[in-house]
Structure 1
C-alpha cells in the first residue's frame, strides 16, 4: 500500500528527531510541538498561545504557564471555544511524572472545549480525546522511540492531522456520546436486576446546614455549597451517584452559580425555564455546569433541579438578606482593586479635600469630642465610636464611563472586612443584630448622615478657609437619588410605571421561559386595573400591534386579517384579548418571556396614556402582584445578567 507523501514527510521528520536537543520546556515547545503541528499541516495562523492561571486558582503565577491551542479557523475573531481543536501542555524534559500536567490539561481542555488534549515532556507523548460528559479517552500513550514504527506514525498522523480534526463535528460527537449513554440507560431499564444493583449506589437524602455551609443530598445528586457572606463569593461542588460519573466532581464558582443556576428555580426540567438544561428527548437532558457538560436521565435531572432549588434559594436569600439589612438596593454596586461597595453620591474635589482634612484633624486618637470619630486605614476612612466601627468611606477618583467631570469624586460606602468581623465571630443567623445607628450603619443611614450632618459641619468649620461659599460647595454634590415612590406607598397609578419598566427591561433580555405561577396574579391584577380605561386612549394601534404578536397564529391574527383598518378595533376588544391571556396563563405551567414582555409593554402604555377609573382594591391588588415579580427582576438584573 502506497504511503501518502504528507505522511512520508511526517515519518521522515519524527524518526529523525533527536530528543537530546531538548533542555527545557521552551525547547519542547519550539523544537518538538511547533514542528510536529506544521508536519500535521496546521496553519500557523490557527495556532495561539495562552498564559494560564494557576490550576484551579484565580491568581496568576509570577511565571505563568503557557499552553498551545490549535483552532479550525484562521480568522482570529472566530477563534473561540466553538472552533478550538487541540490543547497542548508541555513540561520540562527532566520531569517524568505527568499526572499533575494531565489534570491541568484536562481542566483547561474542558474550559476551552477542545476535541483533544496532549501532554508531553518531549519524550513521553500522551494524547487524550475529550468526551462531552467530562470523560476522556487515552488514544495514544507513546514515547519518541515508538515512532520508529511506521504503522504507529501513520495512525498518529491519520488521527490528528488538520484536515481530519477540523472536520470533526462537535455536535455529532455530542450526539454519539448521547447515543452511547442512551444505550446504557435503555439496557439498565430492560434489566431490572441491574437496575436494582445500581440503585443501591444511590445517596441517602439529607439536608444539613452548619453556619454558611449547606449540603443537600438527593438519591442521584449531592451538592455541597459555601453560601456567600457580606457581598462575598460562595461556591459549590456537585457529585452524582451514577457509576457513569464515578469520581466526577464539578466545582462551580460564584459567577457560575449566579449566571447559570439561579434562573427557573422551582420549575420542572422539561419546562425550558432553566438555562443550564436542554431536553434531548422525553427521558434525557444535556446539562451544562460551568465548563462541564453531562447527559442525565430524567430522574437525575429532577434530583439535580431539586438540589439546585434548595441551594440557590438559600444562596439568593443570603444575598438579599445582606442587601436588605444594609439598605443597599438603591445604590450602584461597584468593585475595583480590593474595594467593594456602593456609590452614595459624588462631590467635586474641592469639597472632598475639605472632607479629607476634617477626617485627619478629627482622628479619634486626637480628642474626645463628638466629632472625633475618624481613623484613616489606607485610603478608606473608618468612622468609629470607641472600638465600634460604624461605616467605612472610600473615595473613588475619575469615575469610569461617566459624564461627570474628571475632578468629581465618588463617595463609596465600603464593604470592609474589619467592619464585618462581627459576622464571623457571631452566629451567622444573628449578625443582623449589629445593624443600626449604634452599631454598623446602613448605606442609607450613612448617606443621610454625610449629607445632613457631616458635610454641613465640614463646610461650617472651614467656611473662612475655603475659597468657595457654602452654596457653591453644596451645589457641586451630585446626589444619586431614587425619586420613585415605594411600591407600598403608591396611590397615583402612574407611579407604577417605573417599576413596570424595570420588569419589561428584564423580560426583554430573559431568554428562558418563566414559571406561570409568578405571572398569574400579575396578568390578572393589571388587566383588572386598566379595565375601565377611556376608549379614546391614544395609540390603540400600538396596543393591538403588541397583542397581535402575543397571539400570533391564534384567533386574534384571524380577526386582524378580517379587519379593514385599526378603527374597527376598540379598547373593549383589547381588554377581551387581555382576559384571554389571563385565562391562558392560568392554564399554563410556564410562559414565554417574549409574550410577557409584550403584555408588560401594553400595561405600561395604557397606564401612561389612558384615563383610568379604578378602585382602591384594584390598585392594592396591582401593588401586591407587582412586588414578587419586580423583586425577582431587580435581583436578576443586579446579580445574574452581569455574570453572562
Structure 2
C-alpha cells in the first residue's frame, strides 16, 4: 500500500492510533511502523527488513541489526545502499523500556548505511535522531507516542520525515548550517577575545612534510595529506579543516578527482574564478566542491585551501610530467582498459602481425642465446627482456577486444607495467629513472623505433621466403607512423606553429575557468608582433574582424570601437590594444584567449608573413609554456570531465 503525500491524513491517523493494540514486537512493526511510514509517503518497495553488510566493512561482526526496517530513496534493490539510505527504524517489544542497546546498534550501522534519520521505538515511546555526515547525530524527538496527538507536534515530525522531502536531501552537502549562519559564526566568535584565543589555539601549525611518496601541506585553516603517484600510478589525498564549523570533516579525493577538480588555476587567487572546484558567492564567502562534498568556506579558509592545493598539485603534476618526459611518451596516445594501461605506438596489418607473433614465440629468451632471443609472452603482454633485465612490455590490441580483428589492423601498445616499475623501486637504484636507457628500461620512443627499424625488418627477412613478403612492403604494412607536429626545436617555418596553435584553440574551447593574465601576456605580445608583418591584403579580413569585434563588444575600449575595424591595420591596432589591456589585468577569460588565438591562426595560415629567425625563436619560446599546459590538461585533466 502506498498513501500519497498528505499531512492531514498522517495527523488524522496518528491522533486515532490506539497503542493498546500493540502486544508484541511484530505488532509494533506491522501495526505501527509500517502504517506510519505509508502515511509519510514511503513506497513499500523502498523498504528492506534485512540488509547485509560485507564482512570487510564490519568492525564488529558479532553486532547484528535486529528487528529493523530500512527505507531507501529508490525502489531499485541494486541501488539500495549507503548513498540512497534514508531512515533506519529499530522496533522493540512494547514491554521493553531499555533503549540503550538498540540505540548503540542503530548508531553502529549508521556508520555504514549513513542514513539521514535513526528511529528507535517500542510503540509507546519513540526516539528520533537526525544524522549529519561529519557531525554527531542530534536527538530531535524523545517522547511518548501520545505526544503526536498534538497537531503541531505531528506536523513537525511529518515535515522532518516525509518521503518527498528527505529523498531530495543531498547527503554530501553540509546542510546543518544555512548560509548566513555558516558565513558569520566564526567571525562572530573571533570578535570575542575569549573565543578568539580558543580558535587560534585550534588552528593547524603551518608545516610542509615530504617523505618519499607522501606529502603533507598544512596552513592554519587547512591540512592536506597526499599520496603522490608513483611512476604512472594513481595517488589520492585527504583534506581536513581546523575551523569550529568544519572541524572533524575529512574529505578524500581519488586520483581522478585530484586531476579533474584541483589541477586547474594553480597559483591564482580564489576570487579570480580560475579554479574548477571554487566559486565565489559574495565578497568573503566561497563555495567549494571537493570530491562528492560541497561546503561553504570563509575567505581565509579558501585562501589557505588554495595554498595547500597549489603545493600538492604542483608536485603531483611534476610526478606525472616527469614520467612522460623520462619515458618519452608524449607523442603517443594514452589508452586505458580494465587490464592494461599504455601508449599507442603504431599499428600493423594482420598479416604482418601474424609473422611478428610467430617470430616472438620462436625466439623466447629461455630457448636460446642469440641476440634475438628476447621475448616472453605472459597472457596478452609481450616482454622484451635479456632474462633478468626487462627492457619493455608491448601489447597487441586486436580491435575492440583481444580476440577479434577491427579494420584489418593490430594496434601495438607500449604497456605501463606496474610490476616492473615496483621491482625497480625496490632495487638498489635511487629511482626508476636511473634504469632508463638502452641497457635498462626502454622509452616508448626507443621501443617504437627499435620495433620498426630493427625488429620488424628482421621478422620480414626471416619469413620472406615462407610468406613471400618483400622489405619494400614495410611502409604499407605500418600505419599511423608519422607525427603531425614538427618539433619546436626543428621548426624553421612560421606555418609550423599552426598545429600547436590549433591544439591550444581546442583546449580553450573546452576550458570554462579564467586564466591568470600574467601567463598569457608574452603570448599576446609576441604573436601580435609576429603577425603585424603579414601582407595587408590578406584574405578573410571579415573573419578576423568578426572575432575581434566579439571581444570589443564584451569589453568596450575608449581607444577603438568595433565599427572601426575595416582594414588590416585596424585589426593590428585592436590586437595592440588587447596587449596593453592584458598587462593591467589580473585574469582573462578563456573565450577571449580563444578568439585572439583564432585571429593568430587565420593570419599565419592565410597571410604572407615576413619574419626573422629571431622572431620565430621568440614565438616558439612564448608558445611553449602555454602549449605544455594545454598538452598536460588535455591528456590528464579533461578526459575526466
Structure 1 length as normaliser, TM-score?
0.83
Matched, 1:150 2:148: yes
The 8 Å contact of residues 391 and 440 in structure 1, kept in 2 or not, is answered as: yes
Q: Greater CA radius of gyration, 1 or 2?
A: 2
Match of 2:631 in 1: 634
Match of 1:7 in 2: 11
Mapping for residues 414-425 of structure 1, pairs under 5 Å = 414-425=415-426
The 8 Å contact of residues 73 and 167 in structure 2, kept in 1 or not, is answered as: no
Match of 2:583 in 1: 586
Residues 328-384 of structure 1, C-alpha deviations (whole Å, 9 max, x = no match): 111111111221111111223332222222112111111110011111222211111
CA distance in 2, matches of 1:433, 1:322: 12
Match of 2:552 in 1: 551
Matched, 1:575 2:562: no
Match of 1:102 in 2: 110
Match of 1:524 in 2: 525
The 8 Å contact of residues 399 and 406 in structure 1, kept in 2 or not, is answered as: no
Match of 2:602 in 1: 605
CA distance in 1, matches of 2:430, 2:499: 34
Match of 2:270 in 1: 269
Matched, 1:128 2:130: yes
The 8 Å contact of residues 323 and 329 in structure 1, kept in 2 or not, is answered as: yes
Shift of the alpha carbon at 1:195?
A: 1.6
- Where structure 2 has 5 or more consecutive residues not aligned to the other structure, the ranges are 1-6, 58-64, 93-100
Change (3 A) 1:455 1:589: same
Query: In structure 1, the residue corresponding to 2:522 is in which secondary structure?
Result: helix
Query: In structure 2, the residue corresponding to 1:4 is in which secondary structure?
Result: helix
Shift of the alpha carbon at 1:188?
A: 2.4
CA distance in 2, matches of 1:529, 1:536: 16
Residues 120-178 of structure 1, C-alpha deviations (whole Å, 9 max, x = no match): 899998653557xx547535577xx9657534765432322245557989999969522
Change (3 A) 1:324 1:173: closer
Match of 1:197 in 2: 198
CA distance in 1, matches of 2:33, 2:635: 45
- Where structure 1 has 5 or more consecutive residues not aligned to the other structure, the ranges are 23-27, 58-64, 110-115
CA distance in 2, matches of 1:11, 1:481: 81
Range moving further from structure 2, 289-298 or 176-185: 176-185
Query: In structure 1, the residue corresponding to 2:437 is in which secondary structure?
Result: coil
Range moving further from structure 2, 243-252 or 326-335: 243-252
Change (3 A) 1:13 1:581: farther
Change (3 A) 1:251 1:168: closer
CA distance in 1, matches of 2:387, 2:44: 66
Range moving further from structure 2, 242-251 or 509-518: 242-251
Change (3 A) 1:250 1:377: same
Match of 2:489 in 1: 488
Change (3 A) 1:147 1:327: farther
CA distance in 1, matches of 2:475, 2:52: 50
Match of 1:61 in 2: none
The 8 Å contact of residues 514 and 591 in structure 1, kept in 2 or not, is answered as: yes
CA distance in 2, matches of 1:438, 1:169: 56
Match of 2:98 in 1: none
CA distance in 1, matches of 2:574, 2:470: 61
The 8 Å contact of residues 385 and 392 in structure 2, kept in 1 or not, is answered as: yes
Change (3 A) 1:327 1:146: farther
The 8 Å contact of residues 530 and 611 in structure 2, kept in 1 or not, is answered as: yes
Shift of the alpha carbon at 1:462?
A: 1.8
Query: In structure 1, the residue corresponding to 2:289 is in which secondary structure?
Result: strand
Within the candidate set 593, 611, 615, 1:614 is matched to 611
